[in-house]
Structure 1
Amino acid sequence: MGRPFVKMNGLGNDFVVVEARAEPFMPTEDEVRAICDRTDGEGCDQLIAIEPAGDCQVFMRVWNADGSQVETCGNALRCLGWLLMQASGTDRAEILTAGGLTRAYAGGDQRVSVDMGRPGLDWTEIPLAEEMDTRGIELQIGPIDNPVLHTPGAVSMGNPHVTFFAARDFDDAFVTASGSLIERHPLFPEGVNVGFARVLGPERIRLRVWERGAGLTRACGTGACAALVAANRKGLTGRTATMELDGGELEIDWREDGHVWMTGPVEVERTGTLG
């Protein structure tokens, strides 16, 4: 394709970022999968295009590794926010996504804070296929009479999430087997990202995420936001927590004005050209 890119990651959740403000970039699903392929391609969880957005600074288009387009990506928002702030010499950036408008702010030492907006908490906002109390929806993993996990919290952060809470951690095999099943459960007409969380204290949560269209990921920014909101709504934590993900830590703050803020690091890995 002959397009220059920047390879970045947020806590190991990695992206190929392509500039598309002057020249459109609309790869096919097969081309997206080829770029994201870790054996023969550039290798990444998501492909990101920076597009023009009228009155807003930029529009961020996101493709998952399976070729599907998704609404938004929290770690990518931090990475793109950092790129925009570096280019403009300012300490803030506005980014429009299919999930809504977000604002990123410099956090010092290659850290970025993003105002992720208000979470969607109604069943229609997730969306679910039927009306349920999203603090604990009617869903379980395991036998009906003795489920391993049950009644996850459902939250939209511009994209759909469910978070299961348990008193123990779960290995790759369990997260992969369970997450891949729940991702396409009929209850979620648009699919869903699946979190597996253990509350370590009132301000600390261990989280693993099966990401819709990408699989087991080292970090999921919107998943971390959704997990904190879900935990608070269940009375398990306060409104602020450090999220321990496989790739590192994120600070999540569900502020009194209803907005969720996410703060964490970004890393530039390399530049290159899509062939």
Structure 2
Amino acid sequence: MRVPFTKMHGLGNDFIVLDGRETALPAISGRIAAALADRREGIGCDQLILLEPAPDVSADFRMRIFNADGGEVEACGNASRAVALLHGRPARVLTDGGVIALEPAIGGARVDMGVPRFGWDEIPLAYAMDTLSMPVGWEELENPSAVNVGNPHLIFFVSDCDAVELDRLGPEIERDPLFPQRVNVNVATIEAPGRIRLRVWERGAGLTRACGTGACATAVAAARRGLTGRDVTVTLPGGPLDISWRDDGRILMTGPATESFRGSFEWEDYAKGEAE
């Protein structure tokens, strides 16, 4: 079976998008997703995105997200913008993190990411603590905030995010027993009341050029701490995203999305060994 795909990216955070909304695809496993994501022997991506029919009328379709390690996760802001561009019109999309609303915009897309959650058991953490300024630390990274924006994020505010050895500390923090579902690790520098510089270690993907949910979580954490207003530009290594945490509690993210190319692959080339 030959399967078509679309390769896309948002600020360099890249995706393989498989569209099974009209023509059903074979069941995908984490092993197949990881094989497709491999940059040497597969197509290569940070995340594989699978579009499927919605199970009910609460959404127009469903979006499933697999990280490069094959793990299925709840949300991806950059992928949501890419899907908005591909879909070409406003839509309500079911994710494992909830229903989000997306629409194409000039140069990219706008996504309503929903309402952030702050309860320790909503992140989730292994035990109760204040998530605004957590009494924990890893070397120089101390007193983070935790926010769930469909997936779990930990945010450290530092004087220079570029100086942090995130490639070393990120995987250690991601897999700390404090986080039973692992966690995305953000290091942020406040440059002005409306500007944040950010780097992200993404759970299951590693250092990334951009993370939309990380930008949303960081903007919310900064506003909660009184470090910024509720409308900020978050600049990641791949470029800027505009984040607005509205008075009704919902987060709006606006930024670019790009289609890179289209192609197809032979499903059996990546499904070998699935029945073994």
TM-score calculated relative to the size of structure 1 = 0.93
Once the two structures are aligned, what percentage of the paired residues are identical?
49
SS across alignment from 1:128: coil
Shift of 1:26: 2.6
User: Which residue is equivalent to 1:35?
Assistant: 36
8 Å CA contact 1:25–1:49 kept in 2: the answer is: no
Confirm or deny that 1:155 pairs with 2:152: no
User: Counterparts of 2:112 and 2:26 in 1: how far apart (Å)?
Assistant: 27
Shift of 1:52: 0.5
User: Counterparts of 2:84 and 2:5 in 1: how far apart (Å)?
Assistant: 16
User: Counterparts of 2:102 and 2:166 in 1: how far apart (Å)?
Assistant: 31
Shift of 1:273: 0.8
8 Å CA contact 2:30–2:70 kept in 1: the answer is: yes
- More divergent stretch after superposition (206-215 vs 53-62): 53-62
Confirm or deny that 1:60 pairs with 2:55: no
8 Å CA contact 2:8–2:261 kept in 1: the answer is: yes
Structure 2 unaligned residues grouped into runs of 5+: 267-276
Q: For each residue in 1:88-131, what CA deviation from the matched residue of structure 2 results, as whole angstroms up to 9, or x when unmatched? A: xx4x11111000000112221x3211000100111111011111
Q: Which runs of 4+ in 1 moved over 3 A?
A: none
Confirm or deny that 1:141 pairs with 2:132: no
Confirm or deny that 1:218 pairs with 2:224: no
Q: For each residue in 1:203-258, what CA deviation from the matched residue of structure 2 results, as whole angstroms up to 9, or x when unmatched? A: 00000000000000000000000000111111111111100101000000000000
User: Counterparts of 2:45 and 2:104 in 1: how far apart (Å)?
Assistant: 24
Q: Structure 2: which amino acid aligns with 1:97?
A: T
8 Å CA contact 1:153–1:162 kept in 2: the answer is: yes
8 Å CA contact 2:108–2:258 kept in 1: the answer is: no
Confirm or deny that 1:203 pairs with 2:194: yes
Structure 1 unaligned residues grouped into runs of 5+: 143-147
CA-atom RMSD, angstroms? 1.2
Confirm or deny that 1:114 pairs with 2:117: no
Confirm or deny that 1:240 pairs with 2:243: no
Confirm or deny that 1:125 pairs with 2:122: yes
SS across alignment from 2:199: strand
Q: Structure 2: which amino acid aligns with 1:6?
A: T
Confirm or deny that 1:169 pairs with 2:198: no
Q: For each residue in 1:24-63, what CA deviation from the matched residue of structure 2 results, as whole angstroms up to 9, or x when unmatched? A: 3432222211110111111100000000003121100000
Q: For each residue in 1:168-200, what CA deviation from the matched residue of structure 2 results, as whole angstroms up to 9, or x when unmatched? A: 12358x111111001011111100000010000
User: Counterparts of 1:198 and 1:141 in 2: how far apart (Å)?
Assistant: 17
SS across alignment from 1:170: helix
